[in-house]
A and B are shown apart, each in its own frame.
Chain A
Amino acid sequence: MKPLDEATLIPSHMPTTNRPSNMGASVNDNASRLDAVPKVTGSAKYGKDYHLPNSLYIVFIRCPWGAADFVSADEAAAKATPGVVEMQVRGKSCTYHGQSIGYIAADSPRAAKRALRALAPKWKRTPVKTQISDTVKDNPDIGDDGQNNMNGAEVTHEAVYTTPVQTHSSLETHGGAVDHRGDRATVYASTQGTSSSRDGLGGPLGLGQGDFELVCEYVGGGFGSKLGGPGKELTTAAQLAAKYKRPAYMFCNRSEEHLDTGNRPSSRTLARIGFKKDGSPVGGEIRTWGGTGVAGGGGGASIPSGRYKLGEIKKLHDDVSFNGGGPRAFRAPGHPQAAFAEELMLDEVAAKLGMDPLALRMKLAGGEHRKMFEAGAKLIGWSNRKPNGSQNSALRTGYGAGAAGWGSAGPGGAAEVVIARDGSVESRTGTQDIGTGQRTGMGIVTADALGIPLKYVSVKIGRSTLPPGPGSGGSVTTPTTAPTMTAVAKAAKTQLLELLATQANAKPDEFSIKDGVVLRNGEKYLTWEEACGKLPNDGITANKGKGERGDGHSNGVQFVKLDVDTETGVIHLRHVVAIQSCGRVICRKTAESQIIGGVIQGLSFALFENKLLDRNTGAMVNDNFESYKILGPGDMPHIEPVLWSKGQSGFKALGEPPTIPTAGATACALFNAIGRPVRDLPLTPDKVLAALAAGQGGAA
C-alpha cells in the first residue's frame, strides 16, 4: 500500500497550462504519471535490468544472409571457450537475415559472445528476393471482367504508392530474465501481454501456473511487437533456467531487434479511381500488396479506409513473400500505409479537379471529421496555403491534411479494488503499461469512482498473479479495463457506504462521497480517512462489476506544415496539428502524450524509416540506429495535440489512431510545396530532388 506521505507526492499533481484547448478536457487534468518518479530517477526496473546473480547468458546463433544454407561451424572451439555451459546448433537452410539456428549459453555475456565468435559458422548463400517489386512487376487489373467501376467518371487517376518495411525499434529490446528456484520461478519479461506470456511459459519452465509469477512492471516500448506469447527469447531462457535450476537471461541486441522481432510490412497500392468534376466520387479499383517477408498475413493495407466516401471500390489484396523477417502487429497495422496512399491520392485528384484538397475532403468525409477539419484548418493556418506548385523560391512551404478513425472495444478483464483502514486504496489488474499511461489511468478512474483525490490510490499492474487483464493491443486496453475498474471501484464504494449506513443506523442512499469527503444528506459527515477508520481490520475488497461500453469511433484529423529546401531536397517539418477524439479522456497529460507520440512515429515513418535489405545478399544493411534513422529532437516540428472531448462519453481507443494520417498528410504537404507527388516512402531528399527534376506532366 502507498504511504500517505506528502513528500512522495510532490511533483505528481501539478498542472501545466500551455495547452489551453485541453484544459478541463479530462477526468484529471493535472495528474502526472503515477510511475513518473521511478522513471526519471532510474529506479524503475525493466526486464532487461534484471542481471541476477549466477545467471546464464544466452546468445542466439543467427544467419547473416537473406538466404543461406548452413555448412559447418567450429563447435569444438566454441565449447572450449571458458564459461560456456551449453550450446545447440541446428544446422539448416535459412530464409532471412537474423534467423536463429541455435544458441550458446554461458556464465557471462562476454563468454557467450566469445564463444559465438569462436563458432564462426560457415554459410553458402542462395538467391534472394528482397522486396515486393521483385515479384510484382506490372499493374494488373482486378479480375478479367474489364470492369473497374469508373464508368461515368469525368476525371480519373491511376498511380502506384509504396511504403517500406518499418521496424518497431522499441528501445527496450525483446527478451526476459528468468529466476528459477527449482519448484518456483519469477520471470522478468518485456511484454505487452502479461497473461498471454504467462500462458506460454508453464511448459518451458516445467512448472504449474501457480508456481511462477511473470513480472513486467515497466516495459520499454512494444508498439505491437511484444504482443502474444512469450517469444523465443524468453522461452529459451525459461527452458535453460529450468534445466540448470539457475537464472537465465536473454535479450536481443539492437541489430537482432531490427532483424528478428517483427516489423510493419512494406506495401504497394495500385489505385484507379474516378470522380465527377464537382468532386463527387464515382468509384474505382484498388489493389494492394503487403510485403510480409517470410511470413504470411499481416500485410493488409485497408483502403478504402471508410474515412472517405470513394464510391463503389473493387478491392483485392495479396501478401508477397521475400527474404525478410516476418511482420508483427505495429501500431494501427496496415493503416499508416493505407492512409499514405489514400491521402496523397486524394490530393492528386484534387489537383486534377482544380479543387482545394481540404474542400474535396469536406465533400468526402463524415460529420465529425468535417468539424475537425474546419477547426484544424484554423490552427494550422490553412488560409496561407498556396496552390500546388505555385512557389518559385528555393524554400517552399506546403500544407497537408489527413484523417484517422478507430473502432471501440467493450469492457472486459478483471480488476480488484482494496480500501484499507488508513484510507489508502489499491487498484489491481493484470495489464501492463508499455508507456501508454495505463497505470495512471487505472488510478484516476478508481479515484474518480470513489470520489477521492488520486493521492490515496496506488495501482498494481504488470504481474501475472493479479486479476487477469487484456494485452496492450488494438487500443483496447483502456476501453476494456477502465469501465471494469470503474465498476469495481463503485462496488467498493457501495460496500463502504452500506457499512457506514449500518453503523449509523441509516439508509445507504443518505451517503455520498465527493472530493474526499463523505457526505450525509449533502452535509459533511466524515473525512475519507475517518470513514475508512471505521472499516473492519481487513478493509474492503471488491472484485465484481460490469462496466459500460464506449460507443462509436475515435476520430481524428491531422495537419502538417513543412518547408522544402528545393536545392538540397531536405524537408523541414514546421508544425503539426493533431485533433483526436477518444471518448471520455481520463488523464490529460498522458492522452496528449499518446497523440504526440503517434504523430512523431508517423513523421518518422514519413521521412526516414526504411529497413534496407541488400539486393544481392538479402542482409539488412542498416541494423542499427545510425543508419536506420528514427526521428530525433533536431527534426521536430511544433506539435499541437488537441483532445476533442466535447459531448463525448465512454472510454474509447487512443493509442493507434494518432499515427494513422501523419505520413499521408506529410506527403500531401510535400506535394503542395513542390507541385509534384512523391509516391514512395520515406520522403528522402533524393526523391524530392528527382520529383522536382521530373518537371511538369511526367510521373514522379
Chain B
Amino acid sequence: MPDDSVHNAPTGPGCGRSCNCGRANADADGLIRDPKSNGDGVSRRSFIKTLGASAAVSSLSATSESRANALLGREVPKSAAMLIDGPEPVDVTLNINGKPLAVKVEPATTLLEALRFHLNLTGSKEICDRGACGGCSVIVDGKLVNSCMMLALDAVGAQVTTVEGLARDGKLDPVQESFVRHDGLQCGYCTPGLVMACRALLNDNPKPTLEEIKKGLSGNLCRCGTYTNIFNAALEASGQAPIMDQKMEGA
C-alpha cells in the first residue's frame, strides 16, 4: 500500500524538501509496507521491474547514474533510462564528504542504510525510516535529502555531504558552533539532522527571517524540544541577532 501521505500529510511535520518522491513508502528491506507489518508486501524490486519492464538492460553504473541524474534534475540520456539492478548485491562507489567510498549493497538499500550499516557513518540517524522526521538529513548535490527516502544507487555520481563532513580542518561549521553556543540540542539524537537542515537552509537563504527558519526546518522533529534554541542558532549563524527575551524583575 504505497502511502503518499508522507509527502502531503495535513497534520504531518511537512516535508518541504527535495526527497526522492518517486520512492513508494517502503521498509528498509525494500518491501512496501503493509500497515500490519506482517502481511504481504510488494517488493520495491518488482515495483522497479514493472516500471522498467520494456527498457533495455545495460551496465549497472549506467543504471544507477541515470536514476541519480533524473533525481537530481540533470539531463538524462534517453537510452540509459529505466534499467534493472540486482537482485544480488552490487558494487557501487559513493562520493561521501569528498571521498569515494566503495560499498556492496543490495539495490533496495537506502542511502541511510548504506551510510549507517555499510560505511559506519552513524551521524545520520534512523528515526522514522519513512521521511517524516528529517533525522537522516544529508545534502546531495546541494539539496537537502532524507537519506532514508533515497536509494544508495540513486546517489551514485552525486556529491553527498553528511554531518560528519561539515566541520573542516578541525573547525566547526558556523551552524554547528551556534548550535553549541545556544544549546540547540539536548539528547542530541535529532541534532545531526537539524544541523544539516539548517546548513542547507542557510546555503539557499543566507539571511532567513524567523518565519523562513521555521518553515525551512519544518521537515525535522525533535522530541526533547530544542526548537527555540535552534531558531536562535540559525539566526546567529546567519549573522542576525537572536530573539531577545524580556527582563523580568524579581527573578
Q: Which residues of A contact B (CB under 8 A)?
A: 7, 10-12, 14, 16, 18-22, 25, 32-33, 35-46, 48-49, 51, 61-62, 64-65, 109-110, 113-114, 116-117, 119-121, 169-172, 218-221, 223, 253-255, 371, 375, 378-379, 434-437, 579, 589-590, 592-594, 596-601, 608, 619, 621, 624-627, 629-634, 636, 638-640, 642-646
Q: Is the CB of B245 within 8 A of A598?
A: no
Q: How far is the CA of A16 from the CA of B231 in the complex (A)?
A: 13
Complex partner residue of B12 from A597, A629, A631, A636, CB under 8 angstroms:
A629
Q: Is the CB of B123 within 8 A of A43?
A: yes
Q: Is the CB of A255 within 8 A of B14?
A: no
Distance of B39 from chain A, by nearest CB (Å): 8
Q: Is the CB of B248 within 8 A of A598?
A: no
Distance of B164 from chain A, by nearest CB (Å): 5
List, sorted by A's number, 24 A–B pairs whose CB atoms are closer than 8 Å.
A7-B170, A18-B232, A18-B241, A36-B188, A37-B176, A40-B195, A45-B122, A49-B116, A109-B28, A120-B38, A220-B189, A371-B250, A375-B251, A435-B186, A594-B186, A597-B186, A624-B130, A626-B12, A627-B9, A629-B11, A630-B221, A636-B228, A639-B228, A644-B251
Distance of A655 from chain B, by nearest CB (Å): 11
B230: chain A residues within 8 A (beta carbon): 633
Q: How far is the CA of A172 from the CA of B40 in the complex (A)?
A: 28
B179: chain A residues within 8 A (beta carbon): 36, 40
Indicate whether A25 sits within 8 Å of B221 (C-beta atoms), given known contacts A32-B183, A40-B176. no
- When C-beta atoms are compared, the residue in chain A nearest to B175 turns out to be A40
Complex partner residue of A40 from B172, B227, B232, B250, CB under 8 angstroms:
B172
Distance of B228 from chain A, by nearest CB (Å): 5
Complex partner residue of B214 from A12, A36, A601, A633, CB under 8 angstroms:
A633
Indicate whether A42 sits within 8 Å of B122 (C-beta atoms), given known contacts A114-B29, A625-B12, A633-B218. yes
B80 interface residue, CB < 8 Å from A? no
List the 10 closest A-B pairs by CB distance, nearest first.
Answer: A42-B123, A600-B225, A435-B187, A220-B189, A39-B188, A597-B225, A435-B186, A49-B122, A42-B163, A64-B36
Complex partner residue of A14 from B106, B130, B181, B244, CB under 8 angstroms:
B181
Complex partner residue of B224 from A48, A65, A589, A597, CB under 8 angstroms:
A597
- When C-beta atoms are compared, the residue in chain B nearest to A18 turns out to be B242
B132: chain A residues within 8 A (beta carbon): 624-626
Indicate whether A379 sits within 8 Å of B246 (C-beta atoms), given known contacts A11-B177, A633-B218. yes
B225: chain A residues within 8 A (beta carbon): 593, 596-601, 631
Distance of B169 from chain A, by nearest CB (Å): 11
Q: Is the CB of B228 within 8 A of A624?
A: no
Q: Is the CB of B185 within 8 A of A39?
A: yes
Q: Is the CB of A624 within 8 A of B128?
A: yes
- When C-beta atoms are compared, the residue in chain B nearest to A110 turns out to be B29
B189: chain A residues within 8 A (beta carbon): 46, 170-172, 220-221
Q: Is the CB of B183 within 8 A of A36?
A: yes
- When C-beta atoms are compared, the residue in chain A nearest to B218 turns out to be A634
Q: Is the CB of B246 within 8 A of A12?
A: no
Q: How far is the CA of A594 from the CA of B3 in the complex (A)?
A: 36
Q: Is the CB of B232 within 8 A of A121?
A: no
Q: Is the CB of B190 within 8 A of A41?
A: no
Complex partner residue of B163 from A16, A33, A41, A630, CB under 8 angstroms:
A41
Q: How far is the CA of A10 from the CA of B181 in the complex (A)?
A: 10
Given contacts A40-B179, A42-B123, A113-B28, 15 further A-B contacts (CB under 8 A): A7-B170, A21-B251, A33-B180, A33-B185, A109-B28, A116-B37, A218-B188, A596-B229, A597-B224, A626-B12, A629-B11, A633-B13, A633-B213, A633-B231, A642-B251
Q: How far is the CA of A608 from the CA of B221 in the complex (A)?
A: 14
Complex partner residue of A597 from B106, B123, B180, B226, CB under 8 angstroms:
B226
A643: chain B residues within 8 A (beta carbon): 251
B135: chain A residues within 8 A (beta carbon): 171
Q: Is the CB of A626 within 8 A of B130?
A: yes
A624: chain B residues within 8 A (beta carbon): 128, 130, 132
Q: Is the CB of B133 within 8 A of A593?
A: no
B124: chain A residues within 8 A (beta carbon): 42
B223: chain A residues within 8 A (beta carbon): 169-171, 221, 223, 601, 630
Indicate whether A627 sits within 8 Å of B37 (C-beta atoms), given known contacts A18-B243, A221-B189, A634-B215. no
Distance of B251 from chain A, by nearest CB (Å): 5
> In residues 155-208 of chain B, which contact A (Cβ within 8 Å)?
162-164, 166-167, 170, 172, 176-177, 179-183, 185-192, 195
Q: How far is the CA of A255 from the CA of B11 in the complex (A)?
A: 18
Q: Which residues of B contact A (CB under 8 A)?
A: 3, 5-6, 9, 11-14, 27-31, 35-41, 106, 116-117, 120-130, 132-133, 135, 162-164, 166-167, 170, 172, 176-177, 179-183, 185-192, 195, 213-215, 217-218, 220-232, 241-251
Q: How far is the CA of A601 from the CA of B191 in the complex (A)?
A: 17
Q: How far is the CA of A639 from the CA of B222 in the complex (A)?
A: 16
Distance of A120 from chain B, by nearest CB (Å): 7
Q: How far is the CA of A48 from the CA of B122 in the complex (A)?
A: 9
Q: How far is the CA of A46 from the CA of B121 in the complex (A)?
A: 12
Distance of B14 from chain A, by nearest CB (Å): 6
Q: Is the CB of A171 within 8 A of B222?
A: yes
- When C-beta atoms are compared, the residue in chain B nearest to A253 turns out to be B129
Q: How far is the CA of A219 from the CA of B13 in the complex (A)?
A: 24
A645: chain B residues within 8 A (beta carbon): 251
Q: Is the CB of B38 within 8 A of A627?
A: no
Q: Is the CB of B245 within 8 A of A19?
A: yes
Q: How far is the CA of A10 from the CA of B188 in the complex (A)?
A: 19
Distance of A197 from chain B, by nearest CB (Å): 17
Q: Is the CB of A589 within 8 A of B183?
A: yes
Q: How far is the CA of A212 from the CA of B27 in the complex (A)?
A: 34
Q: Is the CB of B117 within 8 A of A109?
A: yes
- When C-beta atoms are compared, the residue in chain B nearest to A600 turns out to be B225
Complex partner residue of B251 from A22, A39, A621, CB under 8 angstroms:
A22
Indicate whether A113 sits within 8 Å of B226 (C-beta atoms), given known contacts A22-B251, A434-B187. no
Q: How far is the CA of A629 from the CA of B9 in the complex (A)?
A: 10
B177: chain A residues within 8 A (beta carbon): 10-11
Indicate whether A25 sits within 8 Å of B176 (C-beta atoms), given known contacts A51-B120, A619-B36, A629-B11. no
Q: How far is the CA of A378 from the CA of B249 in the complex (A)?
A: 10
B31: chain A residues within 8 A (beta carbon): 113, 117
Q: How far is the CA of A378 from the CA of B248 in the complex (A)?
A: 8
Q: How far is the CA of A243 from the CA of B69 in the complex (A)?
A: 47
A255: chain B residues within 8 A (beta carbon): 37
Q: Is the CB of B251 within 8 A of A12?
A: no
Distance of B70 from chain A, by nearest CB (Å): 25
Q: Is the CB of B248 within 8 A of A379?
A: yes
Q: How far is the CA of A636 from the CA of B220 in the complex (A)?
A: 13
A634: chain B residues within 8 A (beta carbon): 13-14, 214-215, 218
Q: How far is the CA of A188 from the CA of B9 in the complex (A)?
A: 36
Q: Is the CB of B188 within 8 A of A640?
A: no
Distance of B107 from chain A, by nearest CB (Å): 12
Q: How far is the CA of A579 from the CA of B248 in the complex (A)?
A: 10
- When C-beta atoms are compared, the residue in chain B nearest to A592 turns out to be B183
Distance of A393 from chain B, by nearest CB (Å): 22
Q: Is the CB of B245 within 8 A of A62?
A: no
A596: chain B residues within 8 A (beta carbon): 225-226, 228-229
Q: How far is the CA of A46 from the CA of B187 in the complex (A)?
A: 10
B166: chain A residues within 8 A (beta carbon): 41
> Which of the listed residues A32, A35, A119 has the most CB atoms from chain B within 10 Å of its own CB?
A32
Complex partner residue of A220 from B3, B13, B187, B229, CB under 8 angstroms:
B187
Q: Is the CB of B188 within 8 A of A44?
A: yes
B12: chain A residues within 8 A (beta carbon): 625-627, 629
- When C-beta atoms are compared, the residue in chain B nearest to A31 turns out to be B183
Distance of B190 from chain A, by nearest CB (Å): 6
Q: How far is the CA of A171 from the CA of B192 in the complex (A)?
A: 12
B170: chain A residues within 8 A (beta carbon): 7
Q: Is the CB of A632 within 8 A of B5?
A: no
Distance of A559 from chain B, by nearest CB (Å): 12
